[in-house]
Structure 1
Amino acid sequence: MSVRVPLAEDFVNGEVSFWYRPTGVPDPGPRLDGDVRADVVIVGAGLTGLWTAYYLKKARPSLDVVVLEQEFAGFGASGRNGGWLTGALAGSHERYARTHSEQAARALQRQMFATIDEVIAVCAEEGIDADIVKGGELTVARTTAQAARMRELVAYSRSIGLGEEDLREADPRAHVRVAGAVGALWTPHCARIQPAKLVRGLASVVRELGVRVYERTPVTEIVPHRAITPYGTAEAAHVIRATEGFTSQLKGQRRQWLPMNSSMIVTEPLPESFWEQAGWDGAELLGDLAHYYIYAQRTADGRIAFGGRGRPYLYGSRVDARGNTHDWTVEALWQLLTDFFPAAASSRIAHAWSGVLGVPRDWCSTVHVDPASGLGWAGGYTGHGVTTTNLAGRTLRDLILATPSELTALPWVGRKVRSWEPEPLRWMGVHSMYRLYRMADQRERSMTHTSALARLADLITGH
């Protein structure tokens, strides 16, 4: 590394994520051994697949539900994310309003807010201890340009019916005190979670409900009514793809959703004096209004988990499944963390890891079930999946059971978008976007408005 980054003596890079440090990375369960038939087959044992299985069994206990997972339940983004149970839309409110209506887009936003409480309630009911605290979210502006975007965001939120109780400007000194903050936004619609505890707890619950979960069983291809693996074929009336950032690894799906990398570091436990100085006395989630944005949480054991983009995309939609993080990414995240909190410079990094999230071409999530072929899917969460997976699971339940509801009427249901461009255009576009965003953030240090470079980046990729 060009700048010395202090690493703990037991520093770990990769090995899925820090969230598995307390328990160790789980050993995968039994794999599929021969052909199997079921009512519903779900490909992927992350939060989308597990929530779908959970709600199906709760609604109709007699259903035979099978989940197929290439590694172990919670191996992907569900066990690596930043632990944000956020009410933020997984896509642009304006786009949903444009393709449907303002009323439909507003209904989707309200469902996202309600889903936070739904997850909290299910965890309480099922005894899932995931360190959940609904402490809200603080988003800071650290330049004049970011502050201008902050005011525009508040004005837009008012225009679509969100009130002070949903989102408001806040005194940056009244919450978490970030160095250089010139403004802040506050919303109560966010909760902290421990990702591995949530997904592993949910996996245990669905098994107890009678769901058959086969791990170490990679699915190579999905066709109507069948999921094909090296160890046998799973047949069902419905086959649901719940593979998010790993979708590109399936036959015929390489350009469907782009696997976008995100990386995180976590510090050693910090002393109480640090938290007092930072004013971080609760479980608020912390983000910023930079284009190359960050996300952070105070963990239950008193660390800062701090994330952002590293190498955003690997050529050909490849996926580094083990979570190893490049030195320069660790360095960049550490420099950002200590820029936000100079007092944290006396600590050390305990763990670094990476994972992939799924990005559709229009950056809006989708959920769909085709009654004719029995094929369905949900995903493309663009980094907002912890909450959206639960809404997706309940929506897939209603679509599979052919039960019209307020969920099946939401504007993300049945949303179809074009595929990503072939290589090398895909690689060039994504890397150009993030290069432009980095340059825009640099320029905005001395600007009063959003850089034209950021608008160009949005135009290139349709962000």
Structure 2
Amino acid sequence: MAATDYRDLSFWFDSLAGSGRDDLTPRAGLVGDQRTDVCIVGGGLTGLWTAYYLKRANPELAITVVEKHIAGFGASGRNGGWCSALFPTSTDALRRAYGDEAAIAMRQAMIDTVDEVGRVVAAEGIDCDYVKGGTLTFARSDVQLAAARAEVAAASAFGPDRLQLITAAARSGAGGSDSGTGDADELGGTAALVRALEATRSSAAAFDPSCARLHPAKLVRGLAEVVETMGVVIAEQTEVVEWAPRRVLCQGETGQSLVHCDTVVIATEGYGAGLPGVRRRILPLYSLMIATEPLPAELWDELGIEHGTTFSDFRHLLVYGQRTADDRFAFGGRGARYHWGSSITPGHDRSAPVFAHLERALVDLFPAVADAEITHRWGGPLGVPRDWHATASFNPRTGVAFAGGYVGDGLSTTNLAGRTLADLIGVRDTELTVLPWVNHLSPKWEPEPLRFLGANLGLLGTTAADTEEALTGRPSLAARLLGPLTGH
């Protein structure tokens, strides 16, 4: 297997290695045939959280995690660092499909998961810069303000949500909150929130407290170390070339290994598109990111983005950002096209036009950072199911489990998946095993060229929706048409 400079994968990997905490040296691969109770395919957060909770429930269980590169190589080590309560299928769509009770249970489970990640990293001593500061989603036009008001109103009527609308009225001490859960002063840090509105020229922002900022590479690499101390075997530089119930065929540097097991867990997210037995169940869609140089504290005070706070706005072509622990902007978004045949190559991780778009979007959102140097540019594929509906599934007859389809909302959802799969595999009936995503089966994506045309038309549609709203000042018809195709 060709040597890879893993520091080049993302700012997160580069900063982790640069700190001296982890030199990213691959662990040993498999040698010869193996016997284990559970074989987990994929060394990202889904696989590692599953291993963690399986071991917590049954320390005697033999578990082997097989990873083609190194733990965290995929989306787990390249994402935006949002540990949020977001689920790719909207709450309204879940209500329509499963009813109010199930939708509320799913939303509450996601909210609880944010705190569960924080609990585990504290208990296990994983220093991953976890700070729960919530998410600000800015409304920067009348159309976006209407969308923000509608989102907050729907959330306040639904149950577990504590979403609030922070408005410019807070500047004069008039409260500035538009939700039914109290005025803006109850949030704490109101002055900073108002400065963020001013810095972004926003009339309002929806504030969701159920999100934490963290350093994803520190999380995934730290979790790998924890499960190893629990007795889990992590075999890196070991590619899965074929799998079937109770057997996984691997190719490593020393040859092939056949792993015999009772349970196979497929935890490959977007990379599953290249794996036999998954293929068209998942579509790899690229999301790219940039990071700035560290910025001075006085600038951050001016911008109103505190440590722990993540941010976005109500545009349709998604952007997302955070203030890193070392005071950089880490900022990303969609815009990269889908590649023919679900192709995944290192060359797709970088796109000059998309990086230019992200730099413009960051400066448009925060003009004060126009002169900041961009020090890192990176990207990678996330996993999109045909109906944009994530799943945690297990077939006890075959012993095959699968989790994924997070559509970019996986940093926390992987934890919920790991807990859920552990309960399903352990044959425990819990509140998690009856959640509406359990054993959901998405339809397969169409064969080419329909897959290529549909995925890229969807990208063009979201871009067109933002242009349409800017020109007309009205909610986009294109976005309304795309809604059913994107889980909304």
**For this structure pair, what is the TM-score category when the shorter chain's length is used for normalisation?**
over 0.9
Please tell me whether residue 415 in structure 1 is matched to residue 440 in structure 2.
yes
* Letter of the 1:189 counterpart: S
Kept after mapping to 2: 8 A contact 1:14/1:353: no
Aligned to 1:443: 468
Shift of 1:221: 2.1
Aligned to 1:395: 420
In the comparison of the two structures, how many residue pairs are matched? 450
Distance 1:280 1:461 in 2: 29
Aligned to 2:284: 259
Please tell me whether residue 179 in structure 1 is matched to residue 197 in structure 2.
no
Kept after mapping to 1: 8 A contact 2:317/2:335: no
Shift of 1:150: 1.2
Distance 1:16 1:308 in 2: 17
* Letter of the 2:417 counterpart: A
Aligned to 1:15: 8
Shift in alpha-carbon separation, 1:460–1:111, aligned structure 2, 3 A: closer
Aligned to 2:26: 28
Please tell me whether residue 188 in structure 1 is matched to residue 220 in structure 2.
no
* Letter of the 2:68 counterpart: Q
Distance 1:460 1:162 in 2: 26
Aligned to 1:324: 349
Residue 54 of structure 1 aligns to a residue in which SS?
A: helix
Distance 1:316 1:277 in 2: 46
Aligned match of 1:345 in 370, 394, 398? 370
Please tell me whether residue 214 in structure 1 is matched to residue 214 in structure 2.
no
Shift of 1:266: 0.2
Shift in alpha-carbon separation, 1:262–1:99, aligned structure 2, 3 A: same
Aligned to 2:173: none
Aligned to 2:219: 198
Aligned to 2:178: none
Shift of 1:92: 2.1
Aligned to 2:431: 406
Kept after mapping to 1: 8 A contact 2:46/2:417: yes
Please tell me whether residue 245 in structure 1 is matched to residue 270 in structure 2.
yes
Residue 353 of structure 1 aligns to a residue in which SS?
A: strand
Please tell me whether residue 88 in structure 1 is matched to residue 81 in structure 2.
no
Distance 1:225 1:53 in 2: 17
Kept after mapping to 1: 8 A contact 2:32/2:257: yes
- Bigger drift between 168-177 and 208-217 goes to 168-177
Shift of 1:247: 0.6
Distance 1:406 1:179 in 2: 41
Shift in alpha-carbon separation, 1:161–1:253, aligned structure 2, 3 A: same
Please tell me whether residue 156 in structure 1 is matched to residue 165 in structure 2.
no
Residue 219 of structure 1 aligns to a residue in which SS?
A: strand
The two structures have a TM-score, normalised by structure 1, of 0.94
Aligned to 2:244: 223
Aligned match of 1:64 in 59, 62, 65? 62
Distance 1:44 1:13 in 2: 17
Give the share of equivalent positions with the same residue, in percent: 45
* Letter of the 1:171 counterpart: T
Residue 22 of structure 1 aligns to a residue in which SS?
A: helix
Distance 2:220 2:385 in 1: 24
Kept after mapping to 2: 8 A contact 1:15/1:323: no
Residue 66 of structure 1 aligns to a residue in which SS?
A: strand
- Bigger drift between 290-299 and 438-447 goes to 438-447
- Contiguous gaps of at least 5 residues in structure 1: 1-11
Shift in alpha-carbon separation, 1:415–1:326, aligned structure 2, 3 A: same
Aligned to 2:115: 117
* Letter of the 1:441 counterpart: D
Shift in alpha-carbon separation, 1:409–1:175, aligned structure 2, 3 A: farther
Which protein has the bigger helix share? 2
Partner deviation per Cα, 1:295-343 (whole Å, 9 max, x = no partner): 0000000100000013131111111247631111111100001111111
Shift in alpha-carbon separation, 1:445–1:295, aligned structure 2, 3 A: same
Shift of 1:456: 2.7
- Contiguous gaps of at least 5 residues in structure 2: 18-22, 169-192
Alignment of 1:367-378 (within 5 A): 367-378=392-403
Shift of 1:461: 6.0
Distance 1:272 1:37 in 2: 54
Aligned to 2:165: 169
User: RMSD in angstroms over aligned alpha carbons?
Assistant: 1.8
Aligned to 1:3: none
Partner deviation per Cα, 1:218-239 (whole Å, 9 max, x = no partner): 1122211111212211111110
* Letter of the 2:389 counterpart: C
Shift of 1:460: 5.7
Please tell me whether residue 232 in structure 1 is matched to residue 268 in structure 2.
no
Distance 1:97 1:396 in 2: 23
Aligned to 1:457: 482
Kept after mapping to 1: 8 A contact 2:389/2:487: no
